[in-house]
Structure 1
């Protein structure tokens, strides 16, 4: 049985590891197809602010308590490595553009926490647990039905094809597989396509020294009339303590 996972980001890598955990890799060929070329943004290298440059995809992400419990269920060592690579958040501070504190919101109870971490770093930690031979750098541009057996057929950018038994879709907002599932009669159009709702987000990384007076474990959100601005730490001290590391978002 041949299984294809389209997309080698956080969802695709996590899906592969879950298949491995429940034993579905035995006797099956599972391949992750990723369009991007390989980047070297290891968790260790991420402590260096200079590694965060224009080649990095995404800024930081916040893994909630629910997400962390999913990681713990998948692999306790993976869960602990994510915590060591990111910055544990226990409080959200909401303030107005005029400087008024509106609320200090705890993440949850004593056993509740979230972690802010660079998206690329989180992805690399997952990637380190997936064998190299399972990831193929090829761009899938379409999914169609194979002739004869009605199974899925992948179409790659170079117009070559491959027939598989099962496809797992993890290729993001511009999903080619979604287009294949919900295509209209006109094959150049498809239903359920993403629509722009007028929201723009800009994110990036700065040295943590820029966040003067910001306590460790606190994420800040400043609310304005037509938007908001958030900032906080994304790494911890090299000694593994709860102290802030070199990088903030």
Structure 2
């Protein structure tokens, strides 16, 4: 049981974005997808969600292709939270979260008890029950991100793909969001999340996939993937490392400048 992608190649606008990318997402794990801007992280996530057909390669969902499953079954199995997933409809927060249940309902079908329970659970998990009657336009950016995460969670899918869900969130809500994703994974859901904060990725993810220039550079435990050599080669930074309560952390410290020492001489 897993989402398995093999040999994924994608070109967009005449530029090769992904080259022979392989990956797997297992139930019950949090997989962090990391890499510099333009590395191909979002493209890979869109391929996994069935929103973008690769030029080469294949994706299987628990052994079946997207074509074999069909669009509605795939939408029930895989929930996708887009990086630019803003919604401008004049819907209440509760109704917007309820859109996550559409793959489970027949066309024009009425909301079921299971739908209402899934929406309530998702809103409670994202701490937005108090916002139920408001519209997205009246919320802060951070509140809106939590609403969109709740919509994805309401799908009650086997896999959740989240593209930069921490964007626009303050530090406290970043931590709360990652704790929520860990809670979801503990319930058996496979979670793949694109992250830019390497320290949070190392702390909250079971496994990391490092992508650079469309290539898979490393795949494994955070401590193995985020070694000094990879951070220097891929991100061009040196880091400080430490430990708190038995949990290791890293802090990007300064860019590595091949032309000479930085301004502070170190």
- When normalised by structure 1's length, the TM-score is 0.27
Q: TM-score, normalised by structure 2?
A: 0.25
| More helix per residue | 2
